[in-house]
Structure 1
């Protein structure tokens, strides 16, 4: 598993720094079975922000999400891969920063589609994208591209014991 190259304690109340494993393990266990909404924020070509709720999954130590080719997030990511993804997990709020790039290799597509299916989302691979009888309206019509977030930084603020706030930096 990819571990952070450094951790910074952001807590101002004396709590210990949080281990990255806390956030990572919750994402691994709760996606896609829990009804979590991840918010992907991208940058439009004119510099204005865009944010959309997505269903994401943590698979093999990476976060994946989808978007139709015509969806604003997909068009933004095609021009600028930088993005943030935010989610409120059990006991910890999390912001992930990095770059999201389209995934087209069939082995990864099949692996991630299987995880979505295990969570009750009927994803199937067709060519280099996903299709299904339904998806979130913000994804646009099928096919849906799959994106993998490569983490640069993550920030977590614990809302349950043990409390704390930490920043994790990753070097790839």
Structure 2
């Protein structure tokens, strides 16, 4: 997926007077470095589903994996729109980030191998995957997973001290 610089704006309605827009480079770094994310999907009956998971940032895309029988995958088959959040449960510190977009399944073995390497680099050997049949397979035999990339259409950074809300449009 190609590198894109989004349109960046500070929403002054939800920001202190001294706040400035958070640069996309800073928010991108938060997405790269975050260990844990929360994904929000929608069940076929319209109810929300939210769960924590691991993800890697590569090629200006956030990638995650899930078993084809898991609720996330079942929801995505019905509605591919998702929201990812990451941050801290504190009033001070780094900005919290929300990424909204469409989940697209990745099946290309070359891309999957590169992403499997990224999982190991970020999370360690316990997250080593073999790649075949269009997905990840855990070397322990614990099962297989589909990989999805999020094509962002919007993202938000919620700065703390001073409070500021930055919107990114792609």
TM tier, shorter chain? 0.7 to 0.9
| C-alpha separation in 2, matches of 1:108 and 1:92 | 30
CA separation of 1:131/1:159 partners in 2, compared to 1, >3 Å: closer, same or farther?
Answer: farther
For the aligned residue pairs, the C-alpha RMSD in angstroms reads 2.0
| C-alpha separation in 2, matches of 1:86 and 1:13 | 22
Q: What are the superposed Cα offsets for residues 45-75 of structure 1, whole Å, 9 maximum, x if unpaired?
A: 1000001111000012110001100000001
Unmatched 5+ stretches in structure 2? none
Q: What are the superposed Cα offsets for residues 86-142 of structure 1, whole Å, 9 maximum, x if unpaired?
A: 11167110111111111101121011101001121212212211011469xxxxx52
Could you say which residue in structure 2 is the equivalent of 1:24? 28
Could you say which residue in structure 1 is the equivalent of 2:138? 132
SS of residue paired to 2:41: strand
1:9/1:16 contact within 8 Å kept: no
| C-alpha separation in 2, matches of 1:24 and 1:44 | 29
Could you say which residue in structure 2 is the equivalent of 1:142? 143
| C-alpha separation in 1, matches of 2:155 and 2:102 | 12
> Given the alignment, which residue of 95, 98, 104 partners 1:95?
98
SS of residue paired to 1:156: strand
Q: What are the within-5 Å matches in structure 2 for residues 45-56 of structure 1?
A: 45-56=44-55
Structure 2-normalised TM-score?
0.85
Unmatched 5+ stretches in structure 1? 136-140
2:15/2:163 contact within 8 Å kept: no
Moved over 3 A (4+): none
1:9/1:18 contact within 8 Å kept: no
Structure 1-normalised TM-score?
0.84
SS of residue paired to 1:144: strand
- Tell me whether 5-14 or 105-114 shows the greater mean CA deviation: 5-14
